[in-house]
Structure 1
Amino acid sequence: MNILVVDDEPLEIEQMVYLIEKHFPTATVWKAQDASQAIRLARKTSIRLAFLDIQMPGKSGLDLAQELRTETKADLVMVTAFQSFEFAQQAIKVGVMDYLTKPIIEEELVRVLNHYTAHSHYSETIRHTLQIIHEEFDERLTLSSLASRIHINSAYLSRKFQEEVGTGFAEYVNHYRLLAAKRMLCEKPDATISSIAESCGFNSQHYFSQMFRKEFNTTPRDYRAKELYME
């Protein structure tokens, strides 16, 4: 599922991306800092859900929402520091499905996301499995050990996971670990690559670096240098 986050404040974007990837790591998040960039992304990518900041230089979020209505079939959610009847009326007129107020509250964002993703429709078995992965991704997690913990057959869990989540168990765990590592590289600039790999559940720095490059088309070291330089 493709999600678009539009805000002229880079820190606001990164906070949203962090929270989305934390709770919905299978989503692909696209970022734009103005309406023109957002429209270009929408024209080349099948956006399912877009979060639009209402106050931006040039076109406002509401103006952008009107334009996106003609370009995509995406559900639109406004992000604003204001709560007013007039704003709600304008948002309804352009087909906005929901809105969030700043500063973003994690629980509210998850509530909104649940309306537009399959996550809220996961079976109890898969919800339990995902909870364990999200809380213990830094530990040694295998399909068989996890299946044993929740008292089901490992082959059944493998099949259910693929059917409901849309990816294999091992692929999901690795992807979630890589997202965690991506955040940690910036949050802990003095930590070694090896220690970050270990903290995120990887057995070796070499394997971690290989997987990171495959996933993000850059090395952990180069990614950190680029992100810290941009700050």
Structure 2
Amino acid sequence: MHILIVDDEPLELEQLDYIIQHRFPYWTIHKAIDASQALKMIQDYPIALALLDIQLPGKSGIELGMEIKMKDSIDIVMVTAFQSFDYAQASIRLGAKDYITKPIIEEELCKVLENYHHTDVQSHIVQQALNIIHEQYSKKLSLSILANQIHINSTYLSRKFNEEMKVSFSEYLNDYRIEMAKQSLLDKSEKPISSISEECGFNSQHYFSVLFKKQVGLSPREYRLREKV
């Protein structure tokens, strides 16, 4: 299942990401800091559930939720640091599935998310594939290598992966590698970009840079410099 977290506070995003990844390792998490990023991700990925912070720059979480509901059948959970009756009412009118207050309590969040655990459409085969990708993304990994590890036909795996994830194996692998590269560019700020490219499974730094800019809108160097500011 694809889940979207929208919050303009990096620490809040990372906390939610950590909790959800720990409890639901087969879910794919996308993060956005404002409404424009969120709407682009909804356009690019099959988001099933969105956690929206109410206090966002520009469009508020309520306004974003209303826009999402007009376009897509995505479940929404509102998140806020303010225990306001007006916010709660607005969330109800919006049709939000739940309303969570900050600071986030892990058990409270997971109780809400458990409602989606058993509706996840991913089969055991695709769950195995995702687990291997997340563990071995830094290595040479092809569809045939992945299929051999799961002991199934690569054509069948390709079809199942496309059906359930709505993207191809290669697209998902590259997306995941780019996400890991983004973390490494910030966490390992002194490491050369060529080394990070190799560590994240890319054989060519040029290909890595082209793909990174296509997905992120910045070169790896520009991304590292911007996030440092």
- Against the structure 1 CA distance between its residues 133 and 218, is the aligned structure 2 distance closer, same or farther, given a 3 Å change threshold? same
The residue that corresponds to 1:144 in the other structure is 144
Instruction: Give the equivalent residue in structure 2 for 1:178.
Output: 178
Verify: 1:198 aligned to 2:206, yes or no: no
Match of 1:115 in 2: 116
Deviation string, structure 1 residues 86-139 (Cα, Å, up to 9, x no partner): x97885565321244545449946972872997x21111111111111111112
> Could you tell me which residue of structure 1 aligns to residue 167 of structure 2?
167
The alpha-carbon distance between structure 1 residues 177 and 56, as it changes in their structure 2 partners (threshold 3 A), is closer
Q: Is the 8 A contact 2:126 2:160 kept in 1?
A: yes
SS state of the match for residue 78, structure 1? strand
Which residue of structure 1 lines up, in the alignment, with residue 33 of structure 2? 31
Equivalent in the alignment of 2:154: 154
Deviation of 1:48 (Å): 5.8
C-alpha change, 1:154 and 1:199, in structure 2 (3 Å) is same
- Correspondences of 1:94-109 after superposition (within 5 Å): 95-100=95-100, 102-104=102-104, 105=106, 108=109
Amino acid at match of 1:112: L
Unaligned runs of 5+ in 1: 33-37
Q: Is the 8 A contact 1:202 1:208 kept in 2?
A: yes
* Bigger Cα displacement from structure 2, 150-159 vs 198-207: 198-207
Q: Which amino acid in 1 is paired with 2:183?
A: R
Comparing 94-103 and 129-138, the one that deviates more = 94-103
Measure how far apart 1:195 and its partner are: 1.6
**CA 75–202 in structure 1, closer or farther in 2 if over 3 Å, else same:** same
Letter of the 2:33 partner, please give it. K
Change (3 A) 1:76 1:184: same
Distance in structure 1 (CA, Å) of the matches to 2:189 and 2:181: 12
Offset, 1:200: 0.9
Q: Look up the SS of the partner of 2:33 in the other structure.
A: strand
Matched residues, percent identical? Answer: 47
Q: Which residue does the alignment assign to 1:130?
A: 130
Check the 8 A contact 2:65/2:76 in 1, yes or no.
no
Question: Structure 1 residues 94 and 217, CA, compared in 2 at 3 Å: closer, same or farther?
Answer: closer
Equivalent AA in structure 2 for residue 210 of structure 1:
V
Structure-2 change in CA distance of 1:181 and 1:152 (3 Å): same
Amino acid in the other structure paired with 1:164: E
Work out whether residues 2 and 30 of structure 1, in 8 Å CA contact, stay in contact via their aligned partners in 2: no
Q: Judging changes above 3 Å, is the alpha-carbon distance between structure 1 residues 80 and 147 closer, same or farther for their aligned structure 2 residues?
A: same
Q: 2:53 maps to which residue? A: 53
- Tell me, in whole angstroms, the C-alpha distance in 2 between the residues paired with 1:57 and 1:166: 30
Match of 2:176, SS state, is: helix
* Shift in Å, 1:158: 1.3
Cα separation, 2, equivalents of 1:189 and 1:106: 34
**Distance of 2:151 and 2:159 partners within structure 1:** 15
In the TM superposition, what whole-angstrom CA distance separates every residue of 1:120-169 from its partner, at most 9, and x where no partner exists? 21111111111111111112211111111111111111121112211111
Contact 2:193 2:221 in 1 (8 A): yes
Counterparts of 1:87-98 in structure 2, within 5 Å, are 92=92, 95-98=95-98
How far apart are 1:225 and its partner, in Å? 0.5
Can you give the 5+ residue segments of structure 2 that lack an aligned partner in the other structure?
none
Give the alignment's TM-score, normalised by structure 2.
Answer: 0.70
Paired letter, 2:133: I
